[in-house]
Amino acid sequence: MSLRPMTVLMPFYTPFYAPLAAGAALGRFREEGLDVRWQPAATFGKIAVEALLDGSIEITLSGLMRSFDVADREGRLLPHFAEVCSRSGFFLLGRTPMPDFRWSGLVGKTVIGFAEAPTPWQCMLTVLRRHGVEPATVRMERNRPGPEALAAFRSGHGDFFEQTQPIVEQLLASGEAHLVASMGEATGPVPFTSYMTTPEFLRREPETVLRFTRAVYRTQRWLASQDAKVIADTIAPDFRDVEREVLERAVARFVRQSTWARDPVLRRPGFDYLQEILQTGGFIKKTHRYEDLVDTAIAAQAVREVDGR
Q: How far apart are CA 305 and CA 309, in angstroms?
A: 6
Q: How far apart are CA 30 and CA 279, in angstroms?
A: 40
Domain ranges of the chain: 4-87+190-307, 91-187
Residues 6+ apart with CB under 8 A from 93: 153, 160, 161, 162, 163, 168, 171, 172, 177, 178, 179, 180
Helix (H, G, I), strand (E, B) or coil at 280: helix
> Please, what CATH class does the domain formed by 91-187 belong to?
alpha beta
- Tens digit of pLDDT per residue, the chain (309 long)? 689 999 999 998 999 999 999 999 999 999 999 999 999 887 766 788 899 999 999 999 999 999 999 999 999 999 999 999 999 999 999 999 999 999 999 999 999 999 888 999 999 999 999 999 999 999 999 999 889 999 999 999 999 999 999 999 999 999 999 999 999 999 999 999 999 999 999 999 999 999 999 999 999 999 999 999 999 999 999 999 999 999 999 999 999 999 999 999 999 999 999 999 999 999 999 999 999 999 999 999 999 999 996
The topology under which CATH files domain 4-87+190-307 is D-Maltodextrin-Binding Protein; domain 2 (3.40.190)
Give the CA angle between residues 173, 162, 167 to the nearest 5°.
35
Q: How far apart are CA 272 and CA 188, in angstroms?
A: 13
What residue ranges in 59-170 does DSSP mark as E strands?
A: 59-62, 80-85, 91-94, 110-112, 139-141, 160-163
Q: How far apart are CA 136 and CA 82, in angstroms?
A: 35
The model's pTM is 0.95
Q: Do domains 4-87+190-307 and 91-187 have the same CATH topology?
A: yes
